[in-house]
Structure 1
């Protein structure tokens, strides 16, 4: 099933990750065990490239660093906006699924992509 939209973090967020890697290099070169510090920029880069939301005809798929989670349109009860403007899907089973890169300002776009399944604010 082809995605209608893929919403990811801006690739500009990789600039601080590169700076973190450059700053970690001298520390990592100081001792063999300190090379573990280089895992931090790698994890940060993986997070920037991986985390996001896909919307398609079948539902919404959220991608975290470890695994994707899919919510079919039939299982969607609504959307909750948290105090920090983060969006969460509310399922018919009563659970909540965070939408990692979306904020309240993205709700009109998400409503348009849903084909009328989510009410626009």
Structure 2
């Protein structure tokens, strides 16, 4: 069986998350109509739906595109210097001038796929794991037999 060639990767929130925002809108309806001016609560599900549908990171053979709610950053692979991983496993792209751009919805587990789609321009950080020396795991101390077991 042959694996099909992938030409584009899209990292986004699943579209089913829109259902959560719609459920919030439905359950907020009694509150929204309780008094004049409370209908502004519908801004929350509308913003959540826009966020789910808009925010994403797309990678293809030529470039990396990070779309936020109100903007878009296009970075050609040639301008990308490295990836930086935050403490919470979110990934940022470091460009030639040292500026860091957040990559929405990209986690550390996606780095091998990004390395593959870049055509080898960025090294796969998981490849060196096999060459590294194994870390010794301390063994648990052996339990001494209890007096009750000896009988």
Same fold (TM over 0.5): yes
Q: The residue matched to 2:33 in structure 1 has which SS?
A: helix
Number of the residue aligned with 1:117: 121
Number of the residue aligned with 2:104: 100
Whichever structure has more strand as a proportion of its residues is 1
Confirm whether residue 59 of structure 1 aligns to residue 94 of structure 2: no
Number of the residue aligned with 1:20: 24
> RCO (CA 8 Å, sep 6+): is it higher in 1 or 2?
1
Question: Displacement of 1:97 after TM fit?
Answer: 0.4
Question: Displacement of 1:31 after TM fit?
Answer: 2.2
Question: Displacement of 1:6 after TM fit?
Answer: 2.3
Question: Displacement of 1:62 after TM fit?
Answer: 0.2
More divergent stretch after superposition (6-15 vs 82-91)? 6-15
C-alpha RMSD of matched pairs (Å): 1.3
More divergent stretch after superposition (60-69 vs 49-58)? 49-58
Question: Displacement of 1:110 after TM fit?
Answer: 1.3
Runs of 4+ in 1 over 3 A off after TM superposition: none
More divergent stretch after superposition (56-65 vs 94-103)? 56-65
Q: TM-score, normalised by structure 2?
A: 0.74
Deviation string, structure 1 residues 50-109 (Cα, Å, up to 9, x no partner): 100111233101000001111111210100011000000001101000011011111111
CA distance, structure 2, for counterparts of residue 86 and residue 59 of structure 1: 19
> In structure 2, which of residues 12, 15, 20 is the aligned counterpart of residue 11 of structure 1?
15
Number of the residue aligned with 1:76: 80
Larger radius of gyration, structure 1 or 2? 2
Matches within 5 A, 1:27-46: 27-46=31-50
CA distance, structure 2, for counterparts of residue 13 and residue 110 of structure 1: 24
